[in-house]
Amino acid sequence: MPVITSNTSDPPQFASTLANNDGTAMKTEESVDFTGWSGTLPSGATITGVQIIADCAIDPLVDGAAANSVWTITIGSDTSDTVTPDISIPSPLAFAEVTWGTDATLWGLGSNVWNNDISFSDIIVTFNTPGSNVFYIDQLQMKIHYTTPSPGSPIKLLEGYIQLINGRISI
């Protein structure tokens, strides 16, 4: 299944830090909206799933329930559910790549929301701080999984023949 991977460009004070997994982390104790995602889906593509991937850590460590609710996605006036990460968020001494969502997760937003001619610039990914914890992010990415339309059904000829001469088809 094809996928587009995008980095955020806004807020600008975090964008360059979050572009690469290079050991330079952003620290936040507040909610932050990440926008400026980029990418283009092929014509007729259908979004099947969305992932938020962060190389991150949290301090002090919190239980999984608090870590589950750190990301939401907003498109227009529709805001997503929260999604459980694939692993627990580690302590700042051991950053890890944590993924929220799968190639088949639409975050509680209907496929009509995702597949209504959205632009990547319409997507807002919000970090919602879990209580009084400090969240560290070294890299932040969004992956959009999609399918493309099939070229159609083959012609099934039960009897007779098809002839193509000078751009004309005779059956």
Q: What is the pLDDT of residue 68?
A: 59
Pair type for strands 26-28 and 134-147? antiparallel
Domain total of the chain: 1
Q: What is the mean pLDDT of residues 141-165?
A: 79
Q: Cis bond leading into 2, ω under 30°?
A: no
Tokens coding 79:
């805001």
Query: What is the CATH number for 139?
Result: 2.60.120
Which residues partner with 143 through β-bridges?
5, 51
CA dihedral 121, 124, 127, 128 (to 10 degrees): 170
Q: What is the pLDDT of residue 154?
A: 67
Residue 49: per-residue pLDDT: 95
Mean pLDDT score, 66-80: 83
d(CA 155, CA 159): 12
Q: Rounded to whole angstroms, how far apart are CA atoms 104 and 112?
A: 15
Q: Rank 103-112, 133-142, 154-163 by mean pLDDT and report only the highest.
A: 103-112
Q: What is the mean pLDDT of residues 128-135?
A: 76
The more confident residue out of 118 and 1 is 118
Percent of the chain with pLDDT over 90: 25
Question: Which range of residues forms the domain containing residue 95?
Answer: 3-170
Cα-based distances in Å from 157 to 160, 162, 166, 171: 7, 9, 21, 10
Please write the tens of the pLDDT for every residue from 32-66: 899 989 888 888 889 999 999 998 888 765 554 55
For residue 137, name the pLDDT band (cuts at 50, 70, 90).
confident
Q: Which pLDDT value is given to residue 169?
A: 76
**Cβ-count burial of 88 within 10 angstroms (0-12 exposed, 13-18 middle, 19+ buried)?**
middle
Q: What is the pLDDT averaged over residues 70-84? A: 90
Q: Is the pLDDT of residue 150 over 90?
A: no
